[in-house]
């Protein structure tokens, strides 16, 4: 304790200096060209948040600065609902600028909108650049993050004279999992949850380890089985070159900055290549986007066209990886260790500080043991078992994962006593089958979005939207408005 506490005042000073860098400006400007009309001007603020909610001795009453974005542009003050986005593994601006549905709905339902940044991500680093040291990193848990949101909601309601305003939580992906958990753990604070593309079952160890890459493969196969065969063929050629240690040929074929020189390097190359397909499958939106990088419209289709042009499969694979890694067209070569990090999440941890936070979460509570095997999917065999995870995590973070904890803590699939949760999933999204696909009761509702990728429904309206997502958003809007009415009645009765 003492070590951390002693560092703390200094870090606070460093932290305020960081705040002066005007990041949001850049973000707002960069969206002018592609943002939706409905994008409000969020105000960026910081909330003084308790550092350790569950141990009164470790940190005393120490706090950290947690970032959030807020707009009251549409709010009927003191009466309209509060739409609260439970931030996930990244800079909160990324989510705010890619979740236009929430502000569109706020305009209809006259809601206050808040996007809260998850502790240890973006600028909400409790110990500044030391946040990922051991033991400082240990305050990064799902439970701490949920408690942050519960406290922030409660205090902001006081500050804004909004104590009678019903709160609905929204989230996509891991953020959607957090929205579900908020409704399970704090139904006194939140009246309902829209959980878009939330893989609550697979991450709790209740899935099939082959599901994820099988479903990535299906997206490419559904464009054309020849596409799947071309990808498999290209990886097979790469395998043969590697087996013969033709490392300089591999460097040339894939425009690598450095030649590979070991099986470890080949593993890294395969991981980097596989990750390009993962991202294109997740972000297979019908228009170009700037979320988790830059993607063309219908990237899976673009990839398949690239894979099936001419007979040079290795060149095609390189160009296909370039759709993801060289979207800007400025890379002269691929530096495979800086473009992709091998970590405890085989679907990718991202880059920078955020990737360390996510790696730690994948090493503790969030179970992401997915494998590819070249049989149920088109990728080279790359296994990642609980045993592999344990070895990696004890070495990297000095922790032993607890694969059963999430299921115990957040109910697994035994959700029937919960209420007011929408589980939406798009059938193109490789995460979909790790989530709830069938309604469990009249207030635990599964929504299918045919032709939808990763939380397409949270994105703002677009002319290229399929009919299915328009219908899904209408249904979500109706349910949310019903929950808000129910909650008003409940709040009035409890007066
Ligand atoms: C923490 O507790 C100390 C001692 O009781 C007090 O002086 C200080 O103001 C408290 N800080 C916060 C942020 O509440
Ligand atoms: C913290 O790390 C970031 C990213 O590596 C760097 O830009 C920044 O200067 C560092 N801040 C301090 C105070 O060391
Ligand atoms: C990146 O794209 C540019 C423009 O298309 C191309 O000239 C360059 O060779 C690409 N870089 C790599 C590493 O493939
Ligand atoms: C995948 O399996 C096929 C046989 O079904 C084999 O020819 C190919 O080399 C394998 N690819 C890899 C990367 O292991
Ligand atoms: C959604 O689609 C899945 C997979 O196709 C199916 O199993 C499920 O029953 C569908 N759920 C609803 C609510 O239509």
CB 102 within 8 A of CB 152: no
Residues 71, 426, 411, 56, CA torsion sign: negative
Q: How far apart are CA 431 and CA 282, in angstroms?
A: 8
50 CB within 6 A, ligand 1 = no
| Model pLDDT for residues 395-417, shown as the tens digit of each residue | 999 999 999 999 999 999 999 99
Banded pLDDT at 8 (limits 50, 70, 90) = very low
Q: What is the mean pLDDT of residues 316-331?
A: 97
Give residue 302 CA to ligand 5 midpoint distance, Å. 27
How is 118-150 classified by DSSP, letter by letter?
A: PTTSTT--TTGGGTTSTTGGGG--HHHHHHHHH
Q: With 50 as the cut, is the pLDDT of residue 360 above it?
A: yes
Ligand 4 atom with the smallest distance to the CA of 379 is 13
pLDDT at 293: 85
14 CB within 6 A, ligand 2 = yes
Q: What is the mean pLDDT of residues 162-190?
A: 98
CA distances from 474 to 84, 216, 402, 436, 478 (A): 19, 28, 39, 20, 6
Q: What is the mean pLDDT of residues 342-368?
A: 97
Q: CB under 8 Å to 334, separation ≥6 — which residues?
A: 254, 255, 256, 257, 272, 321, 325, 326
Residue predicted with more confidence, 26 or 279? 279
Q: Among all ligands shown, which has an atom nearest to the Cα of 256?
A: 3
Q: Among all ligands shown, which has an atom nearest to the Cα of 252?
A: 3
Give residue 13 CA to ligand 2 midpoint distance, Å. 13
Q: Please name which of 378, 259, 234, 256 lies closest in space to residue 326, comparing C-alpha atoms.
A: 256
Q: How far apart are CA 276 and CA 273, in angstroms?
A: 5
How is 220-240 classified by DSSP, letter by letter?
A: HHHH-HHHHHHHHHHHHHHHH
Structure tokens at 297: 């419209």
| Model pLDDT for residues 44-100, shown as the tens digit of each residue | 999 999 999 999 999 999 999 999 999 999 999 999 999 999 999 999 999 999 999
Cα of first residue to Cα of last residue in the chain, in angstroms, is 43
Name which residue sits closest to atom 10 of ligand 1, judged by CA.
61
Q: With 70 as the cut, is the pLDDT of residue 29 above it?
A: no
Q: With 50 as the cut, is the pLDDT of residue 26 above it?
A: no
Q: How far apart are CA 355 and CA 90, in angstroms?
A: 9
Structure tokens at 200: 């609550």
57 CB within 6 A, ligand 1 = no
How is 302-371 classified by DSSP, letter by letter?
A: HHHHHHTSSS-HHHHHHHHHHHHHTTTS--SSB-HHHH----S-TT---SHHHHHHHHHHHHHT------
Residue 103: phi and psi, rounded to 5, are: -75, -30
pLDDT at 491: 86
% the chain with pLDDT above 70: 92
Average per-residue pLDDT for the chain:
92
Give residue 374 CA to ligand 4 midpoint distance, Å. 6
Name which residue sits closest to atom 6 of ligand 4, judged by CA.
236
Ligand 3 atom with the smallest distance to the CA of 326 is 1
Q: What angle do CA 285, 328, 431 make, to 5 degrees?
A: 30
Cis-peptide into 418, omega within 30 deg: no
Q: Among all ligands shown, which has an atom nearest to the Cα of 327?
A: 3
Name which residue sits closest to atom 2 of ligand 1, judged by CA.
61
Q: With 50 as the cut, is the pLDDT of residue 315 above it?
A: yes
CA distances from 385 to 211, 225, 345 (A): 14, 29, 11
Q: How far apart are CA 368 and CA 276, in angstroms?
A: 18
Q: With 60 as the cut, is the pLDDT of residue 369 above it?
A: yes
Neighbouring CB atoms inside 10 A of 471's CB total 14
Q: With 90 as the cut, is the pLDDT of residue 32 above it?
A: no
Q: How far apart are CA 129 and CA 352, in angstroms?
A: 11
Say which DSSP state 443 is in: T
Give residue 64 CA to ligand 1 midpoint distance, Å. 13
376 CB within 6 A, ligand 4 = no
Q: With 60 as the cut, is the pLDDT of residue 25 above it?
A: no
380 CB within 6 A, ligand 4 = yes
pLDDT at 39: 62
Give residue 323 CA to ligand 3 midpoint distance, Å. 10
CB 455 within 8 A of CB 196: yes
Ligand 4 atom with the smallest distance to the CA of 239 is 13
pLDDT at 495: 63
Q: Which residue has the tokens 């070569």?
A: 333
Give residue 42 CA to ligand 3 midpoint distance, Å. 36
Q: What is the mean pLDDT of residues 288-292?
A: 91
pLDDT at 34: 38
Banded pLDDT at 40 (limits 50, 70, 90) = low
129 CB within 6 A, ligand 2 = yes
Pocket of ligand 5 (CB under 6 A): 437-439, 446, 448
Banded pLDDT at 18 (limits 50, 70, 90) = very low
416 CB within 6 A, ligand 2 = no
DSSP E strand boundaries for 1-87: 43-50, 63-71, 82-86
Give residue 353 CA to ligand 2 midpoint distance, Å. 10
| Model pLDDT for residues 422-471, shown as the tens digit of each residue | 999 999 999 999 999 999 999 999 999 999 999 999 999 999 999 999 99
pLDDT at 21: 31
| Model pLDDT for residues 214-245, shown as the tens digit of each residue | 999 999 999 999 999 999 999 999 999 999 99
Active site residues: 173, 429, 454
Q: With 70 as the cut, is the pLDDT of residue 28 above it?
A: no
| Model pLDDT for residues 83-99, shown as the tens digit of each residue | 999 999 999 999 999 99
């Amino acid at each position: 304790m003492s070590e951390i506490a002693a560092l703390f005042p200094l870090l606070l000073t460093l932290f305020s200096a960081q705040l002066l860098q005007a990041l949001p400006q850049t973000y707002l400007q960069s969206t002018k060209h592609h943002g939706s009309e409905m994008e409000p001007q969020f105000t960026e603020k910081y909330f003084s948040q308790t550092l350790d909610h569950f141990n009164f001795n470790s940190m005393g009453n120490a706090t950290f600065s947690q970032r959030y974005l807020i707009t009251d542009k549409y709010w009927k003050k003191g009466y309209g609902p509060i739409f609260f986005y439970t931030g996930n593994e990244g800079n909160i601006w990324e989510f705010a600028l890619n979740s236009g549905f929430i502000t569109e709905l706020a305009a209809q339902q006259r809601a206050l909108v808040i996007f809260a940044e998850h502790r240890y991500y973006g600028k909400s680093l409790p110990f500044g650049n030391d946040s990922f040291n051991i033991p400082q990193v240990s305050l990064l848990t799902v439970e701490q993050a949920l408690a942050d949101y519960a406290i922030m909601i409660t205090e902001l309601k006081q500050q804004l004279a909004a104590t009678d305003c019903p709160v609905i939580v929204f989230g996509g992906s891991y953020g959607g999992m957090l929205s579900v958990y908020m409704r399970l753990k704090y139904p006194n604070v939140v009246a309902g949850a829209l959980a878009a593309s939330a893989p609550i079952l697979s991450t709790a160890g209740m899935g099939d380890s082959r599901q994820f890459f099988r479903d990535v493969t299906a997206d490419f196969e559904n464009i054309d089985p020849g596409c799947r065969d071309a990808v498999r063929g290209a990886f097979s050629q790469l395998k043969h070159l590697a087996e013969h240690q033709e490392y300089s040929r591999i460097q040339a074929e894939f425009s690598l900055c450095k030649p590979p020189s070991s099986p470890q390097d080949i593993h890294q190359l395969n991981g980097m290549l596989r990750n390009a397909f993962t991202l294109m499958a997740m972000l297979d939106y019908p228009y170009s986007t700037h979320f988790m990088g830059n993607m063309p419209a219908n990237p899976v289709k673009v990839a398949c066209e690239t894979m099936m042009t001419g007979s040079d499969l290795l060149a095609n694979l390189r160009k296909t990886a370039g759709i993801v890694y060289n979207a800007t067209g400025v890379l002269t070569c691929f530096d495979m260790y800086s473009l992709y990090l091998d970590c405890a999440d085989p679907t990718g941890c991202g880059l920078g500080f955020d990737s360390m936070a996510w790696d730690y979460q994948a090493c503790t509570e969030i179970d992401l043991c997915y494998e590819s095997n070249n049989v149920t999917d088109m990728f080279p065999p790359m296994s990642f078992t609980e045993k592999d995870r344990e070895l990696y995590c004890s070495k990297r973070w000095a922790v032993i994962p607890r694969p059963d904890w999430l299921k115990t803590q957040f109910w697994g699939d035994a959700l029937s006593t919960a209420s007011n949760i929408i589980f939406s999933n798009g059938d193109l999204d490789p995460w979909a089958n790790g989530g709830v696909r069938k309604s469990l009761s009249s207030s635990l509702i599964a929504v299918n979005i045919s032709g939808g990728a990763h939380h397409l429904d949270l994105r703002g309206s677009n002319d290229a939207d399929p009919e299915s997502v328009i219908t899904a958003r209408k249904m979500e809007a109706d349910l949310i408005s019903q929950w808000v009415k129910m909650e008003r009645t409940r709040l009035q009765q409890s007066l």
